[in-house]
């Protein structure tokens, strides 16, 4: 009846590409340490396995010194992106020059714009200390000058001059008053005039006794004297200003020499840095203007309010702060060992990237100055490399924008977020921007890279080097050996017990399983390291000094068990009959599909009942999942393909007059993917042909319009999911799974599955076409069209075609009936 | 040894500081507290409410012309009393603040009258009077009226600040030597003293100085002579130093203290 033989079930050997421990020349991984020169070499070898493309991109990105050639290291989590990039940067960094130091100093011309000074590495801290010493020296030298007899005499001369001037002016008024019998009194806040009587002041009663004329004379005289006094007092500020000017000039004159000698010494030390020399000249001029700030603090009178001392800002200290140096970036060549810096910023906020301007509370307000400018990651990485997590920087407010701005403008402009967004308008600092020369490495997943490329027009300009990390590598004896070295490297770095050959082989097999491909190995180094750490723990529990196969297997099993609560609950529900899944018997229009669920990084397969019902209709296959909005677009696409298959294969010259419905029974969540499309087709064919399907088999695979079965993902989990159910119910030798033949190369099944297959208690069939599958499921040949164009009698296809032909005939009948009803009604009259 | 004994014997018993509604009062208080702390003498602060000011404030046309603003403000006695009271309280608080955490023994009084009169009345022999200078009280007048040394303060006097002693040759040299030694120790001058001496002839002045030197051989004495009061004032002004006026004829030991005592209105003693 059929021309093509049914596929043979897979042999145990085809179910898993085992790693032969015999291929390794070592007994344990401890021996591998000696195979390499240094630990660094081992590390390097370990980390670049299978990442040739990425390594090439990193080398290119590091090497090219052009604008915009920053790197984006993309790939899945755990692929070692950060570690590999950092390893290469660390190798390159020492070959580059140590970047210059940067200082912020006071800007004597525009106080709120601190000046940035660049100087050779290692000199910023020295400059900072030198300036501190200079201030200390000035604080000693200037008061000494002020204490000298010469200065004191000249100062006293100025002060006395002023005092005499003032006293003379007041005294003259007093003399005028005295001549008229009036005293000039010193009052708490000024002066007053009163008539004299004897040694004292005339009282009000005595005054009242005076003749009226005398009273008027005295009052008039006092009014005149008051005017005279007011005039004299009005003149005083002018004299005081003059005295202050003379005093300032005196200060400048006497300290000029001592200031010059101290600053000249510094100028000669920093003669090679023009900016510093220029700054020191400005300092010199400023010190002459603010000599009084260098006076030691006096026991001045503290202002009081109702007797309570008021806090007072130390003005001399705040004036002296202006001579400090903020060594923003100070490299220590002896300690750093030279080379470009490599900075990883774990928390790339706006402030942590470009620095921040801190404030201190003073007299109830927040104040700041250039000494409170703190560096950001860009400052620290300037002249070297900055590594950032793409997701972190994108989730921090305005951090991405500020990074792009800095890279675009090639300078670091430190400003608060409030300033940048013009949210605050209080006076703050605008530090002079620092030129930026940095290579940024963003580490993120591919989705972010493609999204940024798509939606951020600047991204492509600024991150021209894509470092694309592979997820897995092709498996070969060489790769296995290389992988063994990786394992040895991790064990060494993590200080784990050495692994014996069997354990290494088991870890490699696990790598293939993680890659979901018998012919590839996963490059997820984090997962591998976790497996080794856990295996080491179990070895320690077992009291072994070497990690064996059983320890690695135990680590795998316990890991799955820890994550497998939901899988077990689902299986339990099936065994209890809550979820209806048959694994024996036959049934029309019902097949066991296989679904896979991934929760918390743990994937597991589970059988699902798929049913189909067919009747005469309008040629539509109804996907209940889609109608109930539980099916994803790919699943819907798979179902629509079924209509195409049916229409193309059966009753080709007649319309498809079928109404069919398909459903994943007891599915309460979303269904996505087309891996069940072949199962759905089998159920539909069974329903149309009215042939029962073996429930001891489960099916996976997608199908195309030609009826070819195509590969799907997670084939191992799906097989094991059905196997576990059957095993729990008892393997009877009938059970098995139909998998796409294209998936055979991906099989890395568990040992217990392979044992069952070897014992003939479980079967795995590689299926290439729907015909092969339906024959295996129904036991009835599918049948091929004969020379006359008809399918062999009794075959599945003949039964299906006959049913569809019946539907089509009924469809034609219904069509002609509708047509006759239309004719009877007649055609509407044409409008003229 | 003898000198030490003399110094100890002649250490001022009390420092009496006069406070009034004058800008230099605070400097006087600080100077007095400083000297009292150094010499472990008791400090008596006397705030004098100037009777003249109260009288003046009662006049119908009394106007106070501000020292800095030059604005004339009307006043009355009540306002003036309130202001003086407030200043007295402020001065007391300032003194308490200075004494906080120090072993300084102090007391505080308020009196009404004329500053210098009240102050001199409150002081006894071996006391040191500290006060802001008052124009009517010339050194000559002070020397003849006081029976204790009077330090006139214009600004802060720190240890070692050079001062000049003003006295008349009527003061017996032995007494002068004792007082000068005492003053030198108090003010931390290492026995170097300048004296502005009111004396009619230079010969007499030289004799007087010789007598003093004999009585206090370790005192380095510089004498500036003035023949009359005007000349004395000029000399003192030229020296530009705080002045300590020595009394012409101090009463003998055992004289009653504060015979003409003022009328204290309030009193406070440190615990």
Residues B64, A226: C-beta atoms closer than 8 Å: no
Mutate to test the interface with A, among B22, B50, B63 (most CBs of A within 10 A): B63
Per DSSP, chain B holds a count of helices (H) and strands (E) of 9, 12
Residue A815: the pLDDT is: 64
Question: pLDDT value at position A368?
Answer: 86
CB contact under 8 Å between A226 and B58, yes or no, is: no
- Whether the pLDDT of residue A11 is over 90: the answer is yes
Q: Do A226 and B72 touch (CB under 8 A)?
A: yes
Local confidence band at B200 (pLDDT 50, 70, 90 cut-offs): confident
Tokens of A238: 């002018």
CA distance B140 to chain A (A): 17
How far is Cα A613 from Cα A591, in angstroms, rounded to an integer? 12
Residue B190 confidence (pLDDT): 65
CB contact under 8 A, B26 and A233: no
Q: Give the minimum alpha-carbon distance from B90 to chain A in angstroms, rounded to a whole number.
A: 6
Whether residue A821 is predicted with pLDDT greater than 60 in this model: the reply is no
Take residue A247 and report the two structure tokens written for it: 């005093």
**Mean pLDDT across A449-453:** 95
Contact flag A186-B75 (C-beta cutoff 8 Å): no
Task: Please provide the average confidence, as pLDDT, over all residues in chain A.
Answer: 87
Average pLDDT over residues A556-561: 93
- Please count the helices (runs of H) and the strands (runs of E) in chain A: 29, 32
Contact indicator for B15, B130 with CB cutoff of 8 Å: yes
Backbone angles phi, psi at B135, to 5 degrees: -55, -45
Give how far B223 is from chain A: nearest CA, Å: 21
For chain B positions 68-97, those within 8 Å of chain A (CB to CB) are: 68-70, 72, 75, 83-84, 87, 89-90, 93-94, 97
Would the CB atoms of A226 and B55 count as touching at under 8 Å? no
Per-residue pLDDT of A295-339, as tens digits, reads 765 444 444 433 444 444 455 667 888 999 999 999 887 666 678
B53 and A219 within 8 Å at the Cβ level: the answer is no
* A221-232 pLDDT, tens digit each: 998 998 899 888
Instruction: Determine phi and psi for A70, rounding to 5 degrees.
Output: -90, 165
Helix intervals (H) in chain B: 2-10, 25-39, 51-57, 77-99, 115-122, 139-145, 173-187, 202-215, 229-239
**Confidence label for B156 from pLDDT (cuts 50, 70 and 90):** low
CA distances from A431 to A115, A132, A333, A360, A438 (A): 7, 21, 26, 17, 20
pLDDT at A46 over 50: no
> B25, B33, B67, B115: which to substitute to probe chain A, counting the most A Cβ within 10 Å?
B67
- Say whether pLDDT at B186 is over 90: no
C-alpha span between B133 and B152 (Å, rounded): 5
Higher pLDDT, A342 or B238: A342
A200 interaction partners in chain B (CB closer than 8 Å): 51-52, 55, 114
Do A229 and B65 count as a contact with CB atoms less than 8 A apart? yes
Q: Do A304 and B94 touch (CB under 8 A)?
A: yes
Nearest to B66 among A156, A160, A190 (CB): A190
Q: Which residue out of A149, A192, A198, A297 would a mutagenesis test of the B interface target, given it has the greatest number of B Cβ atoms within 10 Å?
A: A192
What share of chain A has pLDDT > 70, as a percent? 92
CB contact under 8 A, A307 and B66: no
Taking an 8 Å cut-off on Cβ atoms, the answer to whether A201 and B62 are in contact is no
Strands A200-201 and A586-588, sheet pairing: unpaired
Q: How far is A177 from chain B (nearest CA, A)?
A: 14
Give the model's confidence band at A4: pLDDT under 50 very low, under 70 low, under 90 confident, else very high.
Answer: low
pLDDT surpassing 50 at residue B27? yes
Q: Does residue B55 sit at the A interface (CB-CB below 8 Å)?
A: yes
pLDDT at residue A315, as a whole number: 56
What distance in Å separates the CA atoms of residue B187 and residue B193, rounded to the nearest whole number? 10
Cβ contact A419:A402 at 8 Å = no
Q: Could B66 and A301 be called an inter-chain contact, meaning their C-beta atoms sit closer than 8 Å?
A: no
- Are A187 and B93 an interchain contact pair (Cβ–Cβ within 8 Å)? no
CB-nearest partner of A233 from B53, B59, B67: B67
Give strand pairing partners of A815: none
Q: Please tell me which of the candidates A193, A200, A307 has its beta carbon nearest to residue B90.
A: A307
| DSSP type of residue B252 | P
Listed range (A309-323, A354-368, A541-555, B120-134) with the worst mean pLDDT: A309-323
The encoded tokens of residue A807 equal 């539907």
Per-residue pLDDT of A429-446, as tens digits, reads 899 999 999 999 999 999
What does the pLDDT read at residue A512? 93
Query: What pLDDT score does B220 carry?
Result: 83
Residues B129, B18 contacting (CB under 8 angstroms) = yes
Rg (CA), chain B: 19
- Find which of A167-181, A686-700, B101-115, B217-231 is predicted with most confidence, using mean pLDDT: A686-700
Lowest mean pLDDT among A378-387, A613-622, B48-57, B93-102: A613-622
Q: Which residues of A touch B (CB under 8 A)?
A: 156, 160, 183, 185-195, 200-204, 207, 219, 222-223, 226, 229-230, 233-234, 236, 299, 301, 304, 307, 309
The pLDDT value recorded for residue A632 is 82
A65-85 average pLDDT score: 90
- Phi, psi for residue B229 in degrees, rounded to 5: -65, -40
| Burial status of residue B59 (CB atoms within 10 A of its CB: 0-12, 13-18, 19 or more) | buried
Spell out which residues of chain A touch residue B61, defining contact as CB-CB under 8 Å: 219, 222-223
DSSP A361: E
Q: How far apart are CA A658 and CA A580, in angstroms?
A: 28
User: For the residues A708-726, what does the mean pLDDT come to?
Assistant: 94
Partners of A434 in the β-ladder:
A412
Three-state secondary structure string covering A48-79 = CCCCHHHHHHHHHHHHCCCCCECEEEECCCCC
* CB nearest to B65's CB, from A191, A195, A304: A191
What integer pLDDT is reported at residue A404 of this predicted model?
A: 96
Give the nearest chain B residue to A167 (CA atoms). Answer: B135
Domains of chain A by range and CATH?
19-50+470-563 (1.10.8.60), 73-99+331-453 (3.40.50.300), 130-297 (no CATH), 580-809 (3.30.230.10)
Looking at CA atoms only, how far is residue A434 from chain B in angstroms?
A: 50
Torsion of CA B175, B179, B180, B183, to 10 degrees: 180
**Cβ pair A233:B70 closer than 8 A:** yes
Q: How many residues are present in chain A?
A: 832
Average pLDDT over residues A63-91: 90
Each residue's pLDDT tens digit, B36-73: 888 888 999 999 998 888 888 888 888 888 888 888 88
Distances (CA, A) of A209 to A81, A195, B76, B105: 107, 13, 19, 49
Distance of alpha carbon A688 from alpha carbon A682, whole angstroms? 10
Task: Look at residue A722 in the predicted model and tell me its pLDDT.
Answer: 95
Grade residue A10 by pLDDT with cuts at 50, 70 and 90: very high
A732 close to A756: Cβ distance less than 8 angstroms: no
Both structure tokens of A146: 């002020």
Judged against a pLDDT cut of 80, whether residue A369 lies above it is answered with yes
Does A507 or A489 have the greater pLDDT score? A507
Q: Is B67 on the interface with A (CB under 8 A)?
A: yes
Q: Does the pLDDT value for residue A382 go beyond 90?
A: yes
pLDDT of residue A269: 93
Token couple for A427: 């006076």
Q: Among partner residues A203, A223, A307, which is closest to B93 by beta-carbon distance? A: A307
Which of B87-96, B120-129, B169-178, B245-254 has the largest mean confidence?
Answer: B87-96
Burial annotation A136-149 (CB, 10 A radius, 16+ → b, else e): ebbbebbeebbeee
What CATH number belongs to B2-59+72-259? 3.40.50.12370
Substitution target in A158, A187, A200, A231 with the highest count of B β-carbons within 10 Å is A187
CA-based nearest residue in chain A for residue B77: A204
pLDDT, position B160: 63
CA nearest to A205 within chain B: B59
Percentage of chain B lying above the pLDDT 90 cut: 8
Q: Which of A693-697, A791-795, B213-217, B248-252 has the lowest mean pLDDT?
A: B248-252
Q: Measured between CB atoms, does B60 come within 8 Å of chain A?
A: yes
**Of the candidate ranges A166-170, A422-426, A681-685, the one whose mean pLDDT is the lowest:** A422-426
CA proximity to A749, closest of A14, A16, A13: A16
What sign does the CA torsion over B66, B72, B73, B78 have?
A: positive
Q: Which pair of structure tokens corresponds to residue A791? A: 């399918």
HSE, side-chain direction, 13 A CA sphere, residue A439: 27
Choose between A164 and A44: higher pLDDT.
A164
Buried b (16+ CB within 10 A) or exposed e, A727-762: beeebeebbbbbbbbbbbebbbbbeebbebbeeebb
A114 or A361, which is more confident: A114
Chain B positions in Cβ-Cβ contact with residue A216 (cut-off 8 Å): none
Q: Are B199 and B208 in contact (CB under 8 A)?
A: yes
Residues of A designated as active site: 675, 718
pLDDT number for residue A154: 87
Contact A194 B55 (CB under 8 A): yes
- Best of A186, A203, A215 to disrupt the B interface (most B CBs within 10 Å) is A186
Task: Return d(Cα A190, Cα A193) in angstroms, integer.
Answer: 11
CA distance A176 to chain B (A): 16
At residue B263, the pLDDT reads: 42
Q: State the burial class of residue A56 (Cβ atoms within 10 Å of its Cβ: 0-12, 13-18, 19+).
A: exposed
Shortest distance, CA B83 to any CA of chain A (angstroms) = 8
For chain A, how far is it from start to end, CA to CA, in angstroms? 65
Question: What's the average model confidence in pLDDT over A573-597?
Answer: 93
Mean pLDDT value of segment A583-607: 91
What is chain A's alpha carbon radius of gyration, rounded to the nearest angstrom? 46
């Amino acid at each position: 009846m059929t021309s093509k033989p049914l596929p043979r079930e897979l042999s145990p050997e085809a179910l898993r590409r085992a790693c032969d421990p015999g291929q390794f020349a070592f007994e344990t991984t401890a021996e591998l340490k000696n195979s390499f020169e240094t630990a660094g070499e081992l590390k390097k070898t370990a980390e670049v396995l299978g990442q040739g493309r990425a390594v090439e991109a990193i080398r290119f990105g590091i090497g090219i010194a052009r604008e915009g050639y920053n790197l984006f290291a993309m790939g899945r989590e755990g692929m070692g992106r950060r570690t590999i990039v950092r390893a290469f940067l660390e190798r390159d960094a020492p070959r580059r020059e140590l970047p210059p130091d940067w200082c912020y100093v006071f800007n004597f011309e525009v106080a709120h714009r601190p000046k940035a000074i660049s100087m050779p590495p290692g000199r910023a801290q020295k400059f900072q200390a030198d300036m501190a010493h200079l201030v200390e020296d000035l604080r000693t030298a200037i008061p000494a000058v002020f204490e000298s007899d010469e200065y004191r005499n000249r100062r006293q001369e100025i002060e006395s001059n002023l005092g005499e001037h003032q006293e003379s002016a007041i005294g003259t008024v007093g003399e005028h008053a005295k001549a008229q019998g009036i005293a000039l009194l010193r009052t708490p806040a000024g002066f007053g005039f009163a008539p004299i009587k004897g040694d004292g002041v005339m009282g009000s009663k005595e005054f009242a006794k005076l003749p009226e004329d005398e009273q008027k004379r005295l009052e008039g005289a006092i009014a005149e004297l008051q005017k005279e006094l007011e005039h004299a007092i009005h003149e005083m500020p002018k004299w005081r200003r003059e005295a202050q000017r003379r005093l300032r000039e005196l200060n400048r004159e006497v300290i000029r020499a001592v200031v010059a000698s101290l600053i000249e010494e510094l100028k000669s030390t920093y003669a090679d840095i023009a900016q510093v020399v220029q700054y020191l000249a400005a300092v010199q001029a400023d010190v002459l203007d603010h000599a009084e700030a260098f006076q030691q603090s006096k026991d001045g009178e503290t202002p009081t309010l109702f007797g309570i001392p008021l806090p007072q800002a130390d003005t001399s200290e705040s004036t002296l702060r202006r001579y400090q140096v903020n060594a923003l970036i100070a490299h220590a060549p002896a300690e750093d060992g030279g080379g470009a810096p490599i900075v990883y910023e774990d928390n790339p906020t706006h402030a942590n990237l470009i620095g921040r301007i801190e404030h201190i509370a003073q007299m109830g307000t927040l104040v700041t100055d250039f000494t409170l400018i703190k560096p950001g990651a860009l400052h620290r990485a300037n002249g070297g490399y900055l590594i950032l997590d793409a997701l972190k920087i994108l989730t921090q407010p305005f951090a991405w924008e500020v990074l792009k701005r800095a890279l675009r403008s090639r300078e670091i402009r430190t400003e608060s977020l409030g300033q940048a967004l013009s949210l605050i308008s209080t006076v703050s600092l605008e530090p002079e921007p620092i030129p930026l020369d940095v290579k940024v490495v963003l580490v993120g997943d591919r989705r972010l890279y493609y999204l940024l490329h798509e939606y951020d027009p600047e991204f492509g300009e600024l991150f021209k080097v894509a470092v694309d990390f592979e997820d897995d590598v092709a498996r070969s004896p060489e790769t296995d050996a290389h992988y063994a070295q990786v394992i040895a490297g991790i064990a060494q770095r993590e200080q784990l017990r050495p692994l014996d050959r069997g354990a290494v082989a088991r870890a490699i097999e696990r790598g293939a399983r993680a890659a979901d491909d018998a012919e590839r190995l996963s490059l997820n180094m984090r997962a591998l390291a976790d497996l080794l750490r856990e295996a080491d723990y179990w070895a320690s529990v077992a009291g072994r000094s070497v990690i064996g196969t059983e320890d690695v297997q135990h680590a795998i099993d316990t890991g799955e068990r820890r994550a497998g609560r939901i899988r077990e609950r689902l299986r339990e529900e099936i065994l209890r009959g809550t979820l209806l899944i048959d694994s024996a018997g036959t049934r029309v229009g019902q097949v066991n599909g296989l679904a896979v669920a991934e929760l918390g990084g743990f994937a597991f397969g589970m059988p699902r009942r798929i049913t189909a019902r067919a009747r005469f209709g309008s040629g539509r296959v109804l996907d209940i999942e889609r109608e109930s909005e539980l099916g994803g677009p790919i699943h819907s696409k798979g179902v629509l393909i079924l209509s195409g298959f049916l229409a193309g294969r059966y009753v080709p010259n007649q319309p498809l007059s079928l109404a069919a419905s398909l459903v994943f029974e007891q599915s309460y969540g979303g269904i996505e993917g087309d891996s069940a499309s072949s199962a759905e087709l089998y159920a539909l064919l069974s329903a149309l042909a009215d042939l029962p399907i073996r429930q001891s088999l489960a099916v996976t695979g997608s199908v195309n319009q030609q009826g070819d079965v195509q590969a799907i993902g997670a084939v191992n989990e799906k097989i094991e999911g059905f196997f576990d159910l059957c095993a729990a119910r008892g393997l009877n030798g009938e059970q098995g799974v139909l998998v796409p033949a294209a998936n055979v190369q991906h099989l890395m099944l568990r040992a217990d599955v392979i044992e069952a297959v070897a014992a003939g208690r479980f079967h795995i069939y590689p299926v290439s076409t729907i015909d092969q599958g339906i024959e295996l499921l129904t036991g009835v040949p599918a049948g091929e069209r004969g020379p006359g164009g008809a399918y062999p009698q009794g075959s599945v296809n003949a039964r299906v075609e006959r049913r569809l032909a019946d539907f089509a005939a009924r469809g034609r009948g219904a069509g002609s009936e509708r047509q006759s009803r239309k004719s009877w009604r007649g055609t509407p009259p044409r409008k003229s | 040894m003898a000198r030490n004994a003399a110094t100890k014997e002649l250490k001022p018993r009390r420092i009496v500081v006069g406070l009034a509604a004058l800008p230099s009062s605070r400097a006087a208080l600080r100077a007095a507290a400083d000297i009292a702390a150094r010499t472990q003498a008791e400090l008596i602060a006397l705030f004098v409410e100037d009777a003249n000011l109260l009288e003046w404030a009662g006049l119908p046309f009394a106007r106070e012309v501000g020292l800095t603003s030059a604005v004339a403000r009307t006043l009355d006695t009540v306002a003036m009393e309130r202001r003086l009271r407030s200043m007295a309280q402020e001065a007391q608080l300032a003194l308490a603040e200075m004494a906080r955490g120090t072993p300084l023994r102090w007391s505080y009084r308020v009196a009404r009258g004329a500053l210098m009169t009240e102050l001199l009345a409150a002081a006894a022999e071996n006391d040191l009077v500290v006060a802001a200078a008052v124009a009517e009280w010339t050194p000559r007048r002070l020397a003849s009226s006081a029976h204790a040394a009077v330090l006139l303060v214009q600004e802060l006097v720190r240890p070692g600040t050079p001062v000049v002693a003003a006295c008349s040759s009527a003061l017996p040299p032995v007494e002068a030597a004792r007082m000068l030694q005492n003053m030198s120790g108090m003010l931390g001058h290492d026995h170097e003293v300048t004296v502005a001496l009111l004396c009619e002839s230079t010969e007499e002045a030289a004799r007087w100085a010789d007598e003093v030197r004999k009585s206090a051989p370790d005192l380095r004495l510089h004498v500036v002579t003035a023949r009359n009061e005007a000349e004395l004032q000029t000399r003192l002004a030229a020296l530009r130093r705080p002045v300590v006026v020595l009394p012409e004829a101090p009463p003998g030991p055992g004289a009653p203290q504060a015979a003409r005592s003022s009328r204290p209105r309030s009193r406070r003693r440190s615990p």
